[in-house]
Amino acid sequence: MFSAFIPIKQHSSRVSNKNVREFNGKPLFEWIIEKLVYDIKEINNLVIDADSEELIDILSKYRPNH
């Protein structure tokens, strides 16, 4: 089993709010998290490093239920 580490910044110098902006119906970070949690069965631990309290609040709503 493996752990995955995802650094997610709220603000980017090139694309403002790129990780929380909707892309094809959901935020970019949600696509990344779902891929790691649901599609790669060898990953049993996911660590997310966020750089703002607002982003941490948003991310807490996407906690997997397993």
Q: What is the mean pLDDT of residues 7-34?
A: 86
Distance CA 35, CA 16 (A): 23
Which one is predicted more confidently, 52 or 61? Answer: 52
Q: What is the 3-state secondary structure (H, E, C) of 20-64?
A: CCEECCEEHHHHHHHHHHHHCCCEEEEEEEECCHHHHHHHHCCCC
Q: What is the mean pLDDT of residues 35-64?
A: 84
Distance CA 60, CA 41 (A): 22
Distance CA 34, CA 41 (A): 11
| pLDDT for res 66 | 44
| pLDDT for res 24 | 93
| Region for residue 24 given its phi and psi (left: phi exceeds 0; alpha: psi -120 to 50; beta: otherwise) | left
